[in-house]
Amino acid sequence: MAKCVVHRAQIADGSLPSICIVCGDRADHRLFAGVGSPSLAWAMVSPLFGLLAFWGSTLRDAGQSPGGFPFCERHRNYWPRRARFIVFGFVSLLVLMGIGFAFTPRPAPGEEVEAHWMLGVAGLWLLIYLPTFLFMHLAAVRPTGGDPGSVVLSGASRPFVVAIESEQKGDEAKSRRADAHDGPQKVARPRPT
């Protein structure tokens, strides 16, 4: 798995190469154009909120669009599947803990607090959910950074990264040829008076 920089404009207009970002096969689906739009500043305040905001928006924007990242038929549900586990797993952890706290009886003065059994279920779910969540998130193709003009995509397939890099090198070569063709620009200097 590799890392590459993708221009936000290419995500929005669908001009990325038709190579699946997960496996490198031919991609017929364009999904999640919203990943190309600038992120909310508040999501950067907390990594947990940023992470849940990304996976939550993935669940919301699971439909095909004219722009977005290229996915093959086999991987078109790649992000929604992970998003369902991550978001619903986190919500279920909060619900289990809330039920456990709500049903834990108040102890009489001088008695020990006896926690409701649902808190034990929540603790067990946490032990299962946390490592699975970390593995699923860190092993996934995912945006890991960016700036106003681009998104850093980690875990992308090698063929996709090669296509993006060759496209970017081609754009740089065109730009250099255009600069060389225009020749050096003469700057008019003011005459002393």
Nearby residues of 8 by Cβ (< 8 Å), 6 or more positions away: 36, 37, 38, 146, 148, 149, 150, 151
Spatial distance between the Cα atoms of 122 and 52, rounded to a whole number of angstroms = 19
Residue 56 in this model has a pLDDT that exceeds 90:
no
* Across 23-29, average pLDDT: 92
CB neighbours of residue 190 within 10 Å: 5
Residue 107 in this model has a pLDDT that exceeds 70:
yes
Residue 71 in this model has a pLDDT that exceeds 80:
yes
Identify the residue whose tokens are 């002393």: 192
Q: For residue 116, what pLDDT is reported? A: 86
Give per-residue pLDDT as tens, 153-166. 899 999 999 999 98
